[in-house]
Structure 1
Amino acid sequence: MAQMTSRRRTSTRISALGRASLLACALACTLSLKPAFAQNAVAYQPALDAAWAAHTSEALHLIDAYLAKHPDDHAARLDRARFLAWLGDYAKADDALAGFGADDQEAAALRARVLAWAERRDAALALNTPLYAADPSDYDNAWTQALILRQGEWPYQALPALAAVQAVKPDDKDTNDLAKAVRLPLFSSIGLTPSLYSDSDHIEIRSIGADTNLWLSDRWRLLASATRREHSAAFGGPFAPLLGDNQVDEDRIGTGLRFAPSPDTALELWMGNSRIDSGVGSDNKTIGHLLLSQRASDAFLYALTFDRDRVDQSPRALAVMRHGLTADLRWTPTLRDRFDARIASDDFDDDNHRTSVLANYAHAMYRGGRVTFDLGLQAEGQHNTRNTGNGYYSPDRYRRYAAVASSYISLGQEAGLYLSAALGQQRDETFDNWKRATDVNAELTVGIFSHWQLVGHVGYSQRLNQFGHYEGTTVGLNLRYRFCEFRASRCPSVR
């Protein structure tokens, strides 16, 4: 049942958008939001004291109790929205701010920042840009404008607003936090990525790669990578090469360019070569991809990818080439709900054709400042025109449904842990009934804002199927060095 290598990679790609959103949430939670309440004692002072002491949940409880008796206190209602934003509950904060009038500039400024944290860039700009234009030297409005403009394909647009912030309060902690956030998407990077996959079908894939992403200019990036992979399977089995040893070595190298014609659109072209050696000769193939990604609106993003690559589910499958067209879609109709889908059509050079879909829905259940928790559903389907026997899974009709839970745990400003589990059922045309399908994944990130970043991930699948008990595991590291000082004008300083 060697399909799990490909399926796990597909799941990783589709869930990457979700993890990026959680990381953005973690980023926002690390940034301060200066309250606008007066320094003099007020009627709900215990709530403010609790908030300043970082006991935000307690502060929210206290201010709710106060508002139950004084529902028309304008300042208290604004501070309640701030406390919700501090907890990372942007949906509730936005709901709280919807009750203020359209001409309430203080509420509009706060809502703009909440929407910026929630990655609703267009809506945030519509609210904050007039405030910023009226007074570009205002610290809070410039701070929010920089936070908004760092999003998207042209993050350098945030630099003038950041400069205004740094001119007003150069040594303030909020200023330094903002500078870290703004320069993060401006970094170039080099990385090292070792990984190991193994499963109960006796397939093992050992990989080590190096890559670079170099910021050439405000719209162009240079991409390059080189990878060495060793694929092995039980000798004489259905996944071992037809000729040669039970191991196939693959060397991959390639380079490409990424171009952003607008803040919402990017084009990426990457071309390379894959060389495999099974011990009886080598085989060189051209590989690559062409990608178009666009943020169509605050709520809808998509990416279209045409690619050519080897089928990497087993040593035998590596001899098969695949041409694919993939659509990755993301829709966030509310600040609580997220839909992701990956729809793919693949042609193989062994006369097989595949269509597949993987869809996810997630609902924000809890936002607690340092912890987020989502619940959702996942559905997967796959159809192949023929069962090739070429070392990769090619069912006529595969179906899987699962309940999914995920959580992001902030371990401080520089570290976070992402956890996910999918518990479901699977079936294809060879099964006489539904069988269990379980996936568990964990990813630890250290150095969210730092030059050096380490990401460790582990994944585990346990599936009951017609052939017995399937288990598969993946373990990997991503060690990355990020830099931008060689372009000083595009590298905000952090004190």
Structure 2
Amino acid sequence: MKLHWILILVLFCSAPPTLAAPPIPDAGLRAEMQDQWADAVAIYEQALQTNPAQAPLWERIADIRATRLNDPAGAAQALSEAVKHAPNDARLHAKLSQTHAVAQQAPAALVAIDRAVELDPDNATYLRARGEIAAWNGNHAVALDSYRRLLVIAPNDADARLGIARINHWRGDLAESERAYHTYLLQRPDAEAAWMEYIAVVTELGDYARALDMLEAHVRRFGDSSAARMQTARVLSWAQRPTRALALVESLDPTLRDDYALGYTRTVALHYAHRPREALASLADVAHLRPDSPESTDLARFVRTPLRSSATLGFTYVAGSDDVCVRRFGARGEYVINPETRLFGGGDRQWLHADTGSGFEKPDGGTAFGYNRAWLGIQHRLSPALSLDGQVGNGSGEGDGRFIYQLGADIQPVDALALRLSRRQDLHTVSPRAAALGIERRANTLDATWTPDLRYTVASRFAYDTFSDDNDRWEAQLAPRRAVLRTQRFNLDMGISGVWFGYDRDPGNGYYAPSRYQRYALTAFGYWKISDDDGVSVALGFGPYKDNTLGGYRTGSDISAEGFFGIYRDWYLNVKAGVSDYGGGDTGAYRSRLFEVNLTRRF
């Protein structure tokens, strides 16, 4: 960088002065010829005491200080005097700017080059220098203005395109940065470094599959390099492929010890590898390298937020066209003992209501039922591949108490496959009738999420439930989807889904129990990224469904929206609402609606 500025400075030094000037003192010239540079400066300064309004002589002193005495600050001071006596000389202001830059005086350099551009607004050299100096100052608006004005003068200026791409990246405008890099690389397809910068932008957009494709093409074209391997590790870490990412990090570590970017990638990979204690240690190392940087702060929030204790208040409302509604209000909390172990517990109150004549009233004709629960549990991660949890509690309603419990295991044998195996037992609180009859549900569920590559996800569920009224239920779900769009503000996945379930019989005990239900849908999942802390998701489904009571398929649809506000902040608000006319719910309602809100305080 310094050499770059010095070369520009030399070019300016070689330009002829624009002002007529008194003769240069002969004694000073003789001192220069004998390489007595300090003496020459002293002679010129003595002459200026008599007549300071000699811009060329001030400029000559600046040249000597810059190129012979290695005194950039002194050179800048001399040129500052020169421009006082030649205030409309754009060349002198530009030269002063470059001298300030060599002296590491960034704000002064920007002021001087601004004046040069003001005096000569169509000078491409000045505009380019203004863009570079403004970027150095962190003044992205001025830098962008400079490069855009440069493109008006020279529409095919590739370096101006590159400047726009970089500035937009630094200011966080990833969409504009991506477009500018694309345009630049059409002009300069062999710019290896710019390709790597472009890939970094695509990675930050969250388009990990495309970033990985671009990296593979980059290696084929330019050969393998530590930069390519480091960026590959970064993509894989954010794409939740920590095993490969950590292998690349370890291969690079011997040659890049104390490298901030490498440590950052290691921390993210350890987090997704379910190695929280090691992730915290890596975070400490990274923060030590750049303790006050925004990147370190964001990384700390990302790693530490899931490890914070919390308390949550929640309310849920569910209602359907079968005149049954359920309201639930509760509180729950988590206490993190250490990175691998946490205690959790909570309690809630459920109010169930059914209209008279709906068929879901209590056996005695009552339309309401209240149910209270309280529970306490523990979760412990035994290894990166296995976490176990269990909870026990008590449920009571209208004087009838019962033991409730849930057991679970999260299993991740490989990066691409995550499993959740659970068993729970509780009162089947879907209607006043089912609850008053004391129908108990023992649910056994296996949820699986398979991501064969970075574009496709296959979610599935297999369940088998038994009920205390000697009924059984089976269920299967399959929902493949593909990442279609990844931008700075919006992500979109599209796919298909199928749901199948059935019961042994329909005992008429206040819950929907078809012998077979099936539903198929085209699905879409969108997420609007308001900020790193806030976002809104929308899920849509549309397609046919039927059960054993229908002679043919009907068309159904559903839509749900969910807001996430404060994802990494102390206070976190989660709001969800949805409507569906698919039927197939717990009471078989053709139309149903849901509203849920949870407020969490982290500690």
Normalising by structure 1, we get a TM-score of: 0.85
Cα offsets for 1:376-424 (capped at 9, x unmatched): 1110001111011111111111100011111111111221101111111
Determine the C-alpha separation between the residues in 2 that align with 1:216 and 1:254.
Answer: 18
Q: Could you say which residue in structure 2 is the equivalent of 1:222?
A: 343
Determine the C-alpha separation between the residues in 2 that align with 1:118 and 1:369.
Answer: 16
Q: Could you say which residue in structure 2 is the equivalent of 1:163?
A: 284
Structure 1 residue 192 displacement after superposition: 0.6
1:316 equivalent among 433, 436, 446: 433
Which structure 2 residues correspond to residues 99-138 of structure 1 after superposition, within 5 A? 99-101=217-219, 103-132=224-253, 134-138=255-259
Q: Could you say which residue in structure 2 is the equivalent of 1:77?
A: 195
CA contact (8 A) 1:153 1:265 kept: no
Q: Name the stretch that deviates more: 51-60 or 309-318.
A: 51-60
Q: Name the stretch that deviates more: 133-142 or 244-253.
A: 133-142
Q: Could you say which residue in structure 1 is the equivalent of 2:420?
A: 303
Structure 1 residue 130 displacement after superposition: 2.9
SS of the residue corresponding to residue 250 of structure 1 reads strand
Q: Do the aligned partners of residues 186 and 136 (structure 1) sit closer, same or farther apart at CA in structure 2, a change above 3 Å counting?
A: farther
Structure 1 residue 170 displacement after superposition: 1.1
Determine the C-alpha separation between the residues in 2 that align with 1:198 and 1:238.
Answer: 15
1:362 equivalent among 476, 481, 484: 481
Q: Do the aligned partners of residues 133 and 155 (structure 1) sit closer, same or farther apart at CA in structure 2, a change above 3 Å counting?
A: farther
Structure 1 residue 71 displacement after superposition: 2.8
Structure 1 residue 204 displacement after superposition: 1.1
CA contact (8 A) 1:132 1:145 kept: no
Q: Could you say which residue in structure 2 is the equivalent of 1:28?
A: none
Q: Do the aligned partners of residues 54 and 153 (structure 1) sit closer, same or farther apart at CA in structure 2, a change above 3 Å counting?
A: closer
Q: Do the aligned partners of residues 468 and 241 (structure 1) sit closer, same or farther apart at CA in structure 2, a change above 3 Å counting?
A: closer
Asked whether 1:396 is paired with 2:515, we answer: yes
Asked whether 1:60 is paired with 2:178, we answer: yes
Which structure 2 residues correspond to residues 163-182 of structure 1 after superposition, within 5 A? 163-182=284-303
Q: Could you say which residue in structure 2 is the equivalent of 1:268?
A: 389
Q: Name the stretch that deviates more: 232-241 or 355-364.
A: 232-241
Q: Do the aligned partners of residues 188 and 299 (structure 1) sit closer, same or farther apart at CA in structure 2, a change above 3 Å counting?
A: same
Q: Percent identity?
A: 31
Q: Could you say which residue in structure 1 is the equivalent of 2:590?
A: 470
* Larger RCO: 1 or 2 (CA < 8 Å, sep 6+): 1
CA contact (8 A) 1:156 1:186 kept: no
Q: Name the stretch that deviates more: 331-340 or 126-135.
A: 126-135
Q: Do the aligned partners of residues 154 and 213 (structure 1) sit closer, same or farther apart at CA in structure 2, a change above 3 Å counting?
A: farther
Structure 1 residue 464 displacement after superposition: 7.4
Asked whether 1:424 is paired with 2:581, we answer: no
CA contact (8 A) 2:276 2:340 kept: no
Structure 1 residue 184 displacement after superposition: 1.2
CA contact (8 A) 1:123 1:298 kept: no
Letter in 2 for 1:91: A
2:600 equivalent among 480, 483, 495: 480
Q: Could you say which residue in structure 1 is the equivalent of 2:501?
A: 382
SS of the residue corresponding to residue 352 of structure 2 reads strand
CA contact (8 A) 1:236 1:246 kept: no
SS of the residue corresponding to residue 379 of structure 1 reads strand
Structure 1 residue 157 displacement after superposition: 1.4
Structure 1 residue 133 displacement after superposition: 5.3
Determine the C-alpha separation between the residues in 1 that align with 2:518 and 2:443.
Answer: 21
CA contact (8 A) 1:270 1:290 kept: yes
SS of the residue corresponding to residue 590 of structure 2 reads strand
Structure 1 residue 182 displacement after superposition: 1.3
Structure 1 residue 87 displacement after superposition: 1.6
Which structure 2 residues correspond to residues 215-364 of structure 1 after superposition, within 5 A? 215-243=336-364, 245-277=366-398, 282-318=399-435, 319-364=438-483
Q: Could you say which residue in structure 2 is the equivalent of 1:31?
A: none
Letter in 1 for 2:203: A
Letter in 2 for 1:216: I
Structure 1 residue 325 displacement after superposition: 1.4
2:579 equivalent among 441, 444, 460: 460
CA contact (8 A) 1:153 1:266 kept: no
Determine the C-alpha separation between the residues in 2 that align with 1:59 and 1:443.
Answer: 30
SS of the residue corresponding to residue 272 of structure 2 reads coil
Structure 1 residue 59 displacement after superposition: 2.5
Letter in 2 for 1:309: D
Q: Do the aligned partners of residues 426 and 80 (structure 1) sit closer, same or farther apart at CA in structure 2, a change above 3 Å counting?
A: same
Between Structure 1 and Structure 2, which shows a larger proportion of helix residues? Answer: 2
Letter in 2 for 1:131: L
Q: Do the aligned partners of residues 288 and 468 (structure 1) sit closer, same or farther apart at CA in structure 2, a change above 3 Å counting?
A: closer
Letter in 1 for 2:473: R
Asked whether 1:449 is paired with 2:568, we answer: yes
Determine the C-alpha separation between the residues in 2 that align with 1:286 and 1:255.
Answer: 12
SS of the residue corresponding to residue 456 of structure 1 reads strand
SS of the residue corresponding to residue 351 of structure 1 reads coil
Determine the C-alpha separation between the residues in 2 that align with 1:120 and 1:394.
Answer: 41
Determine the C-alpha separation between the residues in 1 that align with 2:228 and 2:237.
Answer: 14
Structure 1 residue 103 displacement after superposition: 4.1
Which structure 2 residues correspond to residues 10-89 of structure 1 after superposition, within 5 A? 43=159, 44-89=162-207
Structure 1 residue 244 displacement after superposition: 5.7
Letter in 2 for 1:89: D
CA contact (8 A) 2:566 2:573 kept: yes
Q: Name the stretch that deviates more: 156-165 or 435-444.
A: 156-165
Determine the C-alpha separation between the residues in 2 that align with 1:165 and 1:417.
Answer: 31
Unaligned runs of 5+ in 2: 1-134, 137-142, 148-157
Determine the C-alpha separation between the residues in 2 that align with 1:468 and 1:161.
Answer: 51
Q: Do the aligned partners of residues 464 and 164 (structure 1) sit closer, same or farther apart at CA in structure 2, a change above 3 Å counting?
A: closer
Determine the C-alpha separation between the residues in 2 that align with 1:431 and 1:60.
Answer: 52
Unaligned runs of 5+ in 1: 1-37, 484-495
CA contact (8 A) 2:459 2:480 kept: yes
**Count of aligned pairs between the two proteins:** 441
SS of the residue corresponding to residue 166 of structure 1 reads helix
CA contact (8 A) 1:196 1:205 kept: yes
Cα offsets for 1:356-377 (capped at 9, x unmatched): 0122111111000121011111
Determine the C-alpha separation between the residues in 1 that align with 2:595 and 2:589.
Answer: 20
Structure 1 residue 312 displacement after superposition: 2.3
- Alignment root-mean-square deviation, CA: 2.2
Letter in 2 for 1:289: Q
Structure 1 residue 136 displacement after superposition: 4.1
SS of the residue corresponding to residue 392 of structure 1 reads coil
Cα offsets for 1:141-164 (capped at 9, x unmatched): 111111211224432211222122
Normalising by structure 2, we get a TM-score of: 0.70
Cα offsets for 1:80-129 (capped at 9, x unmatched): 21121122111101111113447411111111111111111111111112
Structure 1 residue 311 displacement after superposition: 1.7
SS of the residue corresponding to residue 216 of structure 1 reads strand
CA contact (8 A) 2:356 2:365 kept: no
SS of the residue corresponding to residue 448 of structure 2 reads strand
